[in-house]
């Protein structure tokens, strides 16, 4: 176990010494902060508009007032779901693309494998190191955003909201780790780090953009006529085909779970965490299954002689 | 120190190493000679536990390299042909990492000791990416020496070095052998290096060991030959 921690510590330090990684990390944090700020400001504007209307009605002597807009505090953090699913995935790819191929190119893989160390310990050490990096990053995101959210919106999250937020961060961790594991697998199998990086970029584009768009194209649409404005609104709804296509996109599955957790869907906005997780059990399964398969495949691949 | 019995490595249908029987004595500097593709690196990879033999046995200091692979790794130091190390880390950081993995006690003291021996103490806190090829080779040797190995495996240690770097490497190997008593097994195709450094040699061609003996014995066995080079080419050409 000591060997695993030595490797994990080295991976952790190396990540935070890498300038490109630091730039992507800074971008990730910045975008999440901006999104919270915009979300909070929008919510404040909506509340102010409502209060202005109430004041006008009051001055006109009205006693019946429209209902206050239904605002769910965590919905302010909604944009983070997209940032994690897109930039978080890139970050994980960047963290892992040369985990093995880089060691091979540097000649350090052989130096590691002649140490009193099992090959699976090397994989575990790399996973633990990446897990620490992603964990620290998400913890910083959580703390920053919760503070900013409370400061700008003036709302202190209650226990249910905090637990939703925590579970969302855990889900984000799992999602990013799955991208890391996939990248690690590619890095073990390919001898060339540039090829490995490009392969994972293609995978990222597929699961983040191509598959979701393909699924969108297979949805059915209902049309709602607004007689006052004389406009027709398209209301997309899932079909078996669109749902089937989305199974292959962990990004879509993560977004589905994320929307429920961060009160983006009004029907689940008041549920507790366990109810949400059981409702999203299939999405969780679709996220976890490829990750577990790739994890086993990585441990198997590293035992093969051609890894050198 | 090293004993191989009928050591064989087969890739698909290609027999890379064929029934290799070899003995390297403790305290020897063994030069393993052969043309490119003769099977030197495959042999070295099996001796260092990086590759598993297809058949046959290897023991190092009495330990089986397959059954006791972790213990064997504790006894050996290894320098591959081209080693870059972690360029963004300093020499000391690289060595600390490898030292800890080899479970070296008082690793920082040992780093100073090894860097002192290699004349690199002034470069301890410099990033490895700024080092010349010769210096990187020496840091490569340093990582191999940290845990005081009984045997040092080197794959073409002077490859790519300039004459000065080659001489320094040669002097270093002799120093390690005489002062620390380290047994050295080195792959090389440079006959000039072998005569200056090695006590014993083995010649391999197409995966088969053609000859293995001490240099003094070889000179006695082939009195008509003017040089080791002549012996090598005649053995390789099947004339002896």
pLDDT digits (tens, 9 = 90+) for B114-170: 998 888 899 999 999 999 888 888 899 999 999 999 999 999 888 877 888 788 888
Q: Determine, yes or no, domain membership for B101.
A: no
Residues of chain B with C-beta less than 8 angstroms from the C-beta of A116 = 70-71, 73-74, 101-103
pTM value? Answer: 0.88
Q: Determine, yes or no, domain membership for B145.
A: no
What mean pLDDT value characterizes chain A? 88
Q: Determine, yes or no, domain membership for B70.
A: yes
Of A6, A17, A305, the CB nearest to B100: A6
The alpha helices in A60-88, defined as continuous H runs, are: 79-83
Q: Is the pLDDT of residue A191 over 80?
A: no
Q: What is the pLDDT of residue B49?
A: 95
Residue A7 in contact with partner chain B when CB distance is under 8 A: yes
pLDDT digits (tens, 9 = 90+) for A25-34: 888 888 888 8
DSSP string, B27-69: T-EEEEE--TTSSHHHHHHHHTTSS--SEEEEEETTEETTTTH
Rounded CA-CA distance A244/A218 in Å is 10
Rounded CA-CA distance A243/A248 in Å is 9
Hey, are the CB atoms on A113 and B50 less than 8 Å from each other? yes
Q: Tally the domains of chain B.
A: 1
Rounded CA-CA distance A68/A46 in Å is 10
Residue B137: closest C-alpha in chain A: A107
Lowest mean pLDDT across A148-152, B124-128, B219-223: A148-152
Q: Give the CATH number of the domain where residue B31 resides.
A: 3.40.50.300
In terms of Cβ atoms closer than 10 Å to its own Cβ (0-12, 13-18, 19+), residue A262 is buried
Residues of chain A with C-beta less than 8 angstroms from the C-beta of B49 = 113-114
Q: Determine, yes or no, domain membership for B204.
A: yes
Q: Determine, yes or no, domain membership for B132.
A: no
Q: Determine, yes or no, domain membership for B102.
A: no
Q: What is the DSSP letter of B128?
A: G
Residue A111 in contact with partner chain B when CB distance is under 8 A: yes
pLDDT digits (tens, 9 = 90+) for A85-106: 998 999 999 999 999 999 998 8
Residue B103 in contact with partner chain A when CB distance is under 8 A: yes
Residues of chain B with C-beta less than 8 angstroms from the C-beta of A110 = 48, 50, 78, 80
Hey, are the CB atoms on A110 and B52 less than 8 Å from each other? no
pLDDT-derived band at B238 (thresholds 50, 70, 90) equals low
Q: Is the pLDDT of residue A47 over 90?
A: no
Residues of chain A with C-beta less than 8 angstroms from the C-beta of B74 = 116
Q: What is the DSSP letter of B23?
A: E
Asked if A144 and A33 count as a contact pair (C-beta separation under 8 A), the reply is: yes
pLDDT digits (tens, 9 = 90+) for B177-220: 998 889 999 998 888 888 889 999 999 999 999 999 999 898 88
Instruction: Give which of A199, A181, A5, A190 is closest to A102, Cα–Cα.
Output: A190
Cα torsion A54, A55, A60, A63: sign: positive
Q: What is the pLDDT of residue A263?
A: 80
Of A10, A116, A118, the CB nearest to B102: A116
Domain that holds residue B163: 2-83+150-236
Rounded CA-CA distance A287/A252 in Å is 9
Of B73, B88, B101, the CB nearest to A6: B101
Hey, are the CB atoms on A106 and B83 less than 8 Å from each other? yes
Hey, are the CB atoms on A114 and B49 less than 8 Å from each other? yes
């Amino acid at each position: 176990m000591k060997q695993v921690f030595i490797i994990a510590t080295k991976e952790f330090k190396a990540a935070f010494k890498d300038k490109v990684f630091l730039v992507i990390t800074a971008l990730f944090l910045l975008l999440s902060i901006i999104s919270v700020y915009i979300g909070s400001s929008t919510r404040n504007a909506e509340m102010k508009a409502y209060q202005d209307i109430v004041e006008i009605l009051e001055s006109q002597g009205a006693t019946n007032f429209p209902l206050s807009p239904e605002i769910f505090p965590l919905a302010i953090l909604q944009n983070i779901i997209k940032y994690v699913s897109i930039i978080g995935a890139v970050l994980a790819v960047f963290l892992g693309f040369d985990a093995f191929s880089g060691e091979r190119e540097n000649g350090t893989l052989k130096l590691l494998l002649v140490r009193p160390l099992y090959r699976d310990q090397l994989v575990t050490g790399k996973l633990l190191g990446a897990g620490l990096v992603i964990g620290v990053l998400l913890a910083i995101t959580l703390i920053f955003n919760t503070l900013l959210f409370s400061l700008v919106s003036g709302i202190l999250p209650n226990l249910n909201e905090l637990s939703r937020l925590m579970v969302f961060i855990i889900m984000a961790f799992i999602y990013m780790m799955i991208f890391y594991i996939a990248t690690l697998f590619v890095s073990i199998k390919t001898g060339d780090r540039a090829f490995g990086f490009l392969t994972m970029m293609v995978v990222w584009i597929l699961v983040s953009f191509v598959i979701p768009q393909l699924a969108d194209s297979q949805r059915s649409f209902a049309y709602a006529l607004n007689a006052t404005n004389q406009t027709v609104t398209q209301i997309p709804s899932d079909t078996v085909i669109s749902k089937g296509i989305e199974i292959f996109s962990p990004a879509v599955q993560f977004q589905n779970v994320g929307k429920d957790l961060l009160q983006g869907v009004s029907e689940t906005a008041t549920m507790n965490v366990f109810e949400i997780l059981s409702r999203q059990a299939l999405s969780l399964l679709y996220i976890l299954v490829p990750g577990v398969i790739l994890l086993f495949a990585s441990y198997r691949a590293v035992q093969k002689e051609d890894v050198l | 120190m090293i004993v191989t019995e009928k050591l064989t490595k087969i890739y698909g249908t290609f027999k890379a190493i064929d029934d290799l029987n070899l003995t390297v004595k403790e305290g020897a500097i063994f030069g393993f000679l052969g043309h490119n593709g003769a099977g030197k690196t495959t042999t070295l990879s099996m001796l260092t536990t990086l590759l598993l033999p297809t058949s046959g046995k290897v023991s190092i200091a009495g330990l089986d390299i397959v059954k006791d692979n972790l213990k064997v790794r504790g006894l050996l130091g290894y320098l591959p042909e081209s080693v870059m190390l972690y360029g963004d880390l300093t020499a000391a950081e690289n060595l600390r990492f490898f030292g800890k993995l080899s479970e070296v006690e008082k690793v920082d003291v040992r780093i100073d000791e090894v860097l002192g021996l290699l004349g690199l103490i002034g470069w301890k806190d410099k990033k490895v990416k700024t080092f010349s090829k010769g210096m990187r080779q020496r840091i490569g040797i340093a990582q191999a020496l940290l845990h005081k190995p009984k045997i040092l495996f080197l794959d073409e240690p002077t490859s790519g070095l300039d004459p000065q770097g080659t001489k320094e490497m040669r002097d270093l190997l002799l120093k390690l052998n005489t002062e620390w008593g380290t047994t050295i097994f080195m792959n090389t195709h440079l006959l000039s290096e072998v005569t200056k450094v090695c006590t014993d040699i083995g010649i391999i061609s197409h995966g088969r060991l053609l000859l293995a003996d001490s240099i003094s014995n070889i000179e006695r066995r082939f009195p008509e030959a003017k040089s080791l080079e002549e012996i090598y080419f005649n053995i390789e050409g099947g004339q002896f």
